[in-house]
């Protein structure tokens, strides 16, 4: 068995969900790999401080508007520089103890450190970075100028890698961000019956509102705005682990039918019951919605999380949703989207995007592991789609 280490951190849910999706496909293919999903900060560096700052303050408290670019990013990069020697030693000891056959990073910021430590201990072990955002956010967020393999979900990311000196043999492209394969599987339930079972109207336009695993106060602002509008629709709120938001929504009197859920593994089911998606422009969340043919409404402005802005641009460029400058414009966006012709067009555009990224990444990792650091041809998306059809 080959030992494959998937490096993540639990800042938000996207990195772990990507690892879980890859593990699911690897297990289904019965590849002879022993998969280890490792939270690099918690299990190797020995700190959970970034988890608290990001999950509890930036996401739950919506502090991104205050500490996003001007404070958080420079301070985090400074911490990496100041701690580099100590962290490098911890990674070296980890690789010496565990002896991986391949290391795959699903996280940004510290890929230079991971690669350097691995090269010092086991220079023949391949290292690959799988980008979980639609593009890099220079300098050195996802793409470090170093000898590694880079797996890019968009052509924009490919061009960024080339501009940093990556050769074609080191760049692999996929048809999209990795999402769990269940989002491409049919949901076998009657939408009208299931809506009624949840206390909803079987025929009203239905919006799914979610801001990831930690929820956000923005959900309350959106709910209040839509409640005061003259729109005729209903809403499903997925609040994640934010019980405070869920309880506030449950206590409110509402003229619009609504269903409120906290953290759940049944996101495909709720997307199946919905007609459109409202939420932050996180790459994984919006890609899941698009895979379920849901048009997206999200915001993008100078105060948005910098790594999420490329996803908003991707939505606008592919005409699979509406990007507003601020969720204060949510009423106008929803009014436009639920027009029958508009909704049908956006849904068709979303359905036309065939994201096979999770299968393609496993194909690529299999080739890298088999060939180690020798030069291997970059697989085409079409070839990967054919391979993934066997899973």
Fold of 182-351: Rossmann fold (3.40.50)
Query: What is the C-alpha separation between 253 and 200, in angstroms, rounded?
Result: 15
Note the pLDDT of residue 15. 85
Spatial distance between the Cα atoms of 310 and 312, rounded to a whole number of angstroms: 5
Tell me how far CA of residue 43 lies from CA of 9, 10, 37, in angstroms.
9, 11, 10
**Strands across the sheet with 234-238, in order?**
258-261, 234-238, 206-210, 276-278, 296-299, 321-324
| Tens-binned pLDDT, residue by residue, of the chain (391 aa) | 999 999 998 776 678 889 999 999 999 999 999 999 999 988 998 876 666 565 555 655 555 554 555 566 666 777 778 888 899 999 999 999 999 999 999 998 889 999 999 999 999 999 999 999 999 987 778 998 888 999 999 999 999 999 999 999 999 999 999 999 999 888 889 999 999 999 999 999 999 999 988 888 899 999 999 999 999 999 999 999 899 999 999 999 999 999 999 999 999 999 999 999 999 888 999 999 999 999 999 999 877 777 889 999 999 999 999 999 999 999 999 999 999 999 999 999 999 999 999 999 999 999 999 886 444 333 334 333 333 333 3
What's the pLDDT score for residue 140?
75
Q: What is the pLDDT of residue 274?
A: 98
In 3D, which of 263, 267, 261, 106 has the Cα closest to residue 185? 267
pLDDT score, position 311: 94
Choose which CATH entry (3.40.50.300, 3.30.1360.30, 3.30.379.10, 3.40.50.2000) describes domain 2-179+355-388. Answer: 3.40.50.2000
* pLDDT at 379 (0 to 100): 39
| pLDDT attached to residue 384 | 38
Question: Is the preceding peptide bond at 139 cis, omega within 30 degrees of 0?
Answer: yes
| pTM of structure | 0.87
- State the pLDDT at residue 31: 96
The Cα 36–Cα 93 span in angstroms is 17
Range(s) of the chain covered by CATH 3.40.50.2000? 2-179+355-388, 182-351
């Amino acid at each position: 068995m080959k030992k494959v280490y998937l490096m993540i951190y639990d800042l938000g849910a996207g990195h772990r969900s990507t690892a879980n999706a890859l593990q699911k496909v690897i297990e289904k293919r019965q590849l002879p790999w022993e998969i280890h999903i490792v939270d690099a900060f918690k299990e190797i560096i020995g700190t959970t401080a970034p988890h608290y700052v990001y999950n509890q303050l930036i996401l739950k408290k919506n502090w991104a508007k205050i500490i996003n670019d001007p404070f958080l990013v420079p301070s985090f990069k400074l911490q990496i520089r100041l701690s580099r020697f100590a962290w490098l030693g911890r990674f070296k000891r980890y690789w010496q103890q565990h002896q991986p056959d391949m290391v795959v990073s699903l996280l940004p910021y510290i890929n230079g450190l991971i690669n350097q430590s691995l090269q010092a201990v086991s220079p023949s072990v391949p290292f690959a970075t799988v980008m979980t955002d639609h593009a890099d956010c220079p300098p050195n967020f996802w793409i470090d100028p170093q000898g590694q393999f880079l797996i890019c979900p968009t052509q924009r990311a490919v061009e960024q890698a080339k501009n940093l000196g990556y050769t074609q043999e080191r760049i692999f492209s996929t048809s999209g961000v990795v999402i769990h394969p269940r989002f491409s599987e049919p949901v076998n339930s009657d939408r009208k019956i299931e809506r009624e079972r949840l206390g909803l109207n079987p025929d009203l336009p239905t919006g799914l509102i979610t801001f990831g695993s930690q929820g956000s106060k923005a959900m309350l602002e959106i709910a209040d705005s839509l409640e005061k509008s003259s729109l005729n629709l209903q809403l499903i709120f997925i609040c994640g682990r934010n019980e405070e938001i869920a309880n506030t929504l449950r206590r409110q009197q509402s003229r619009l039918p609504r269903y409120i859920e906290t953290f759940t593994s049944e996101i495909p089911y709720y997307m199946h019951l919905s007609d459109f998606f409202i939420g932050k422009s996180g790459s994984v969340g919006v890609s899941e919605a698009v895979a379920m043919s849901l048009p997206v409404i999200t915001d993008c402005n100078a105060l948005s999380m910098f790594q999420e802005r490329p996803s908003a641009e991707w939505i606008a460029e592919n005409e699979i949703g509406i990007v507003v400058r601020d969720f204060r414009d949510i009423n106008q966006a929803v009014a436009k989207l639920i027009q029958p012709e508009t909704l049908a067009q956006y849904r068709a555009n979303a359905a036309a995007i065939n994201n096979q990224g999770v299968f393609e990444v496993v194909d690529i990792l299999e080739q890298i592991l088999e060939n180690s650091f020798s030069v291997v041809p970059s697989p085409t998306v079409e070839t990967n789609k054919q391979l993934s059809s066997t899973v």
